[in-house]
Each structure stands twice: as C-alpha cells, then as structure tokens.
Chain A
C-alpha cells in the first residue's frame, strides 16, 4: 500500500524532473560559460591553496581553459582582450601548479601566436616549459621559431634551436637550420623547413593536415616572393601590386590562399594575405590552436 503510493510519488517527481530539465539546461548554458571565466588568483596563492592536490587542480583548470577556448573559437571575432588575459592567467597558474604538464605550453603557443599576435606571452610560457621539461626538444624548438618568424630575432631563434638540438629525439637537421638562421637567409624558406619538421613529428593525422595547409600557404608565399625578387632584378623596382607579377609573366597565376584570404603585396614588396594565415570561414575547424588542446 505505502510502497505503491511511494512509487507513484517517485514517478510523478521523475516526470517533473524530465519536464524541468530542458529549461534548466537552457538557462544554465550562458551562466556556465560566464562561470568558466571564474576568479583566477595569483599563481603563488593558488599554489598555496591547492595543498597536495596541485596536479589535479592543474588538470581541472586546464580543462576549463581548453573548453572555454574551444567553445569560443566557433564564434570568431568575439574574442576580447579580457579573454586573452584570462586565458594567459589561467595558463600561468596551471603551469605554476604543475610545471611539467605538457599541454598548457602547446596550447598557449598555439593560441597566442598565429591568430592573436601575443608572441611575448607565448614565449613566457615556452621559456617556463623549456626550463621545466628539460628532456623536451619541441618547446625550445617552438620558442626558436617564434623568435625567428614573429619577432625577427634570428640570433635568439638560432640559440634556442641549438638548445633543442642537444635534447633527446631532436631532429638531426636542427644545427643546420640554426646555422642558416645565423646567416640570416630567406625567412619564408626557413619557416617552411620549421613547419616541415613540426608536421613530420606530429602523429595526429588531423592536426598534421592543419600543418600541411599552413605549409601550402607558406609555399605559395614563397612562390610569390620569388616572383617579386625576379621582378625586382629585372625591372629595378618593386611591383605595384600582385597582378603586375602575373601580367609580366613572373608568376603563372596568383596562388590560392588555403585559409580563404587573398594574397597581396605590401608597399615594401613583402607578401601578405587578408586571412593573416588563420581560417576565415565561420564554423571552420581547421584552426591549429584548437587542435593543440588534445595533443
């Protein structure tokens, strides 16, 4: 009797729960997103409060960071300065809690470089990682690449490459690449060499594809750059725009930017693209940064 009545009550409650759940989920979603950007205390304080649960706290914080970023990257253009600051603080705390945790360094490097242009922030993380993960050749390698490619600091970049070259498993060609950097030879060619190493060392097929897209783009840039220099030698002046190269026969056709942008020439003759080498379409998933999350 009583059991029957209890069962009925339970059924009614479960039905009510099922009815309420979608509405709950709907109001929860935006709040959840806002909450993901919770309070980040300064790294030493978090380190203190995390007691002996430092690694798990690091895991949790990093999960929040990568999920927050993943959730946002589907909507390009809504990233604000605050988003970057939050993410940067998060990664600083995560790497403070567990300096040997590989993912935050890769993640930070991926996010703060190509799209965001916050190279110094990426480099702070990479340097921290290079010092902590003394067996990992990839972090100083990335650091070298950033210095060379984004900061135009060939010597600094080459120094980092030599650090990477001494670590186990490093690619044999690194000393060679470093020496070329010291001699300040063609930037784009060096960048292609860098990326080929990165792509070769990437095991995840999908992420490898992303690198190959970036390589394609850089090879197109190299092709245009070569055409510009041929034009310069011939005409003793810089081409007015990119179409001049085709008309003058120095370039068979304007290559397509795999990121969906248009190549163009700056006043100083350098080759640029309107995509700035990050995906332009909405809902595209070819952004290497996001993929770096799960490496």
Chain B
C-alpha cells in the first residue's frame, strides 16, 4: 500500500510541475476572459452562456492535460528507464499501474478544483451584471457538473493507463485514447438510432451487432456530461447521480485492473 501511495505522490508532483500544465492553464484563463467578452454579445440568457462556455473550457483543458501528461506517463518511464527505479522497489507491476493512475487522478482533482474556482468568476460576473429573472441557475448543479467532468477525466486516465500497459509508444496510446474518447462520446447516439428502428433505414444484423458491442464495451462518456443541465439549471435526480457514479466507478476499476493484469506479464529489458 505504501508503494502505491508513494508512487501516486511522486507522479502527482512530477505532473504538477510539468511546463505543459502551465501552458494549458494559461490557455484556460484566456478562455475564461474570452467568456466574459463573449457573454456581452448575448441578450438574455447570459448566465447560461457563461456557464456553458466555462464548463466547456474546463473540459477541453482537462482533456488536453490528461491526454498530454497521461500518454507520456508510462511510455516515458519505460523509454527513459525510470521504471527501473520503481520496479526495483518493493512495488509490483500491478501496483505500479494503480499508483500511476492514482497520481494522475490527484492531478485531475487539483486541476479541476483550481479551474473550477477560476471558472466560477465569469459566471458570477455574468449573473451580477445582467439580472435575468427568467433564468434558472443553480450552483449545486454547476458543481456537480464539475465533479462529473473530473470523473470523466479520471475514466479517460484509466483508458490511457490501460493502453500504456499494452504499448510503450506514447503516440499509439494517444491515438487509441482519442479513438475511445470519440467513440465514447457518440456510442449512445448511435445505439439510439438502432433502437428507433427508423423506416427506410435497414441496418444489417452484423452492423447491429457491432453497434451493440461498441455500446457495451466502450465507456458512455456522454452520461458524465452534465453541461446542459448546469447551463440551464436543470435538476438531476439523486438516482441518476448514484447509478451513473456506480457505472463510472466500475468501468474505471475494470479498465485499470485490466491494465494492471496486462502489465504483470510485461518485461523491461
């Protein structure tokens, strides 16, 4: 257990001092400033636009961060042989994977807390400057959406760790992760088409099987996207939060354990 904790700790420290992170944060801050300017172009639903742009900025910067830092995490360890220093400690390969994953999660949490606090400023400003009695906005749902963004990024971190356990080439990890991200953001909509049984559209049994496979095997990332609810102040049931969190937790645990299992078989010559 100490092995996992200490590895997560140094992974976090190494990640937070990465120059790339600094650049991504600067970009996010500029986007928040742009949000303030953009919102002045709208008439009524200003808080809604500010909230949606802020959350989109956080998602985008978070994705950049996780993908950039995450794909290099294991690949660089193997390439530069820093992994020798870890595996020569009483740390198993499975613990190495879990430790790296948890370090990345710490990094995600820290970034989302920071960006979340900064992002609330344009929203606050928008609310103060233009009072709109018709708009419903709730900070509760805004922060739940933030937590869900963090959860989504952690799931993607798990996916990155999984691919890293198979290939040592960070570029291949990057490509595969982006593929999972795109599929995960759309598989629900595609499955929706299948369920509608639209007339004039014939889906072959093979195609239908492929869609179902993709739907069950790949993560449903749109379920973790509550930007629409946050922007419009729509409530989300407790039931939804519970089941979606359970789904998220199990999916992430599965993908990380699968990565750990594969890593156990690897050698580092």
Direct contact, A vs B (beta carbon within 8 Å): yes
Contact of A24 among B225, B246, B253 (CB under 8 A): B246
8 further contact pairs, Cβ within 8 A, besides A27-B240, A41-B49: A6-B257, A7-B261, A27-B239, A28-B223, A35-B228, A39-B232, A42-B42, A293-B200
Tell me the chain B residues, 49-68 only, with Cβ under 8 Å from chain A: 49, 52
13 contacting pairs across A/B (C-beta < 8 A): A21-B216, A23-B243, A24-B243, A27-B244, A28-B220, A31-B229, A32-B188, A32-B192, A37-B228, A38-B228, A39-B52, A71-B196, A291-B200
| Complex: A23 Cα to B240 Cα, angstroms | 9
Does chain B have a CB within 8 A of A201? Answer: no
Does chain B have a CB within 8 A of A204? Answer: yes
Does chain A have a CB within 8 A of B237? Answer: yes
B122 shortest CB reach to chain A, Å = 16
Say yes or no: A285 contacts B193, CB within 8 Å: no
| Complex: A290 Cα to B260 Cα, angstroms | 48
Say yes or no: B257 contacts A294, CB within 8 Å: no
Query: Which candidate, A11-19, A157-165, A215-223, A270-278, is the interface stretch facing chain B?
Result: A11-19
Q: Give the residues in chain B near A26, CB-CB below 8 Å.
A: 243
Say yes or no: A24 contacts B232, CB within 8 Å: no
Q: Give the residues in chain B near A31, CB-CB below 8 Å.
A: 223, 229, 236, 240
Does chain A have a CB within 8 A of B117? Answer: no
B45 to A, closest residue via Cβ: A39
Say yes or no: A35 contacts B243, CB within 8 Å: no
The 3 closest A-B pairs by CB, nearest first: A24-B247, A38-B228, A17-B250
Given known A-B contacts A10-B258, A10-B261, A285-B199, A16 and B250 have beta carbons under 8 A apart: yes
Contact of B222 among A32, A41, A70, A293 (CB under 8 A): A32
Q: Give the residues in chain B near A42, CB-CB below 8 Å.
A: 42
Does chain B have a CB within 8 A of A20? Answer: yes
Does chain B have a CB within 8 A of A233? Answer: no
| Complex: A41 Cα to B260 Cα, angstroms | 43
Q: Give the residues in chain B near A242, CB-CB below 8 Å.
A: none
B223 shortest CB reach to chain A, Å = 5
| Complex: A2 Cα to B244 Cα, angstroms | 31
Tally of B interface residues using CB under 8 Å: 47
- Taking beta carbons and an 8 Å cutoff, which residues of A are in contact with B? 2-3, 6-7, 9-10, 13-14, 16-17, 20-21, 23-24, 26-28, 31-32, 34-35, 37-39, 41-42, 45, 60, 63-64, 67, 70-71, 204, 206-207, 285, 290-291, 293-295
Main secondary structure, interface of B, reads: helix
Residue among B41, B188, B257 with the most chain A CB within 10 A?
B257
B132 shortest CB reach to chain A, Å = 15
B176 shortest CB reach to chain A, Å = 20
| Complex: A10 Cα to B260 Cα, angstroms | 10
| Complex: A17 Cα to B243 Cα, angstroms | 11
Say yes or no: B261 contacts A3, CB within 8 Å: yes
Given known A-B contacts A2-B94, A10-B254, A32-B188, A24 and B228 have beta carbons under 8 A apart: no
Q: Give the residues in chain A near B222, CB-CB below 8 Å.
A: 32, 35
Q: Give the residues in chain A near B192, CB-CB below 8 Å.
A: 32, 67, 71
**How does the 8 Å CB contact mask read for B214-227 relative to A, with 1 for contact and 0 for none?**
00100010110101
Does chain A have a CB within 8 A of B201? Answer: yes
| Complex: A13 Cα to B215 Cα, angstroms | 18
Tell me the chain B residues, 19-46 only, with Cβ under 8 Å from chain A: 38, 41-42
Q: Give the residues in chain B near A64, CB-CB below 8 Å.
A: 189
A17 to B, closest residue via Cβ: B250
Contact of A27 among B52, B225, B237 (CB under 8 A): B237
| Complex: A23 Cα to B250 Cα, angstroms | 13
Given known A-B contacts A21-B216, A28-B240, A290 and B257 have beta carbons under 8 A apart: no
Does chain A have a CB within 8 A of B251? Answer: yes
Contact of A207 among B186, B200, B220 (CB under 8 A): B200
Residue among A28, A37, A63, A204 with the most chain B CB within 10 A?
A28
Say yes or no: A9 contacts B257, CB within 8 Å: yes
Tell me the chain B residues, 176-208 only, with Cβ under 8 Å from chain A: 186, 188-189, 192-193, 196, 198-201
Contact of A70 among B196, B247, B250 (CB under 8 A): B196
Q: Give the residues in chain A near B240, CB-CB below 8 Å.
A: 27-28, 31
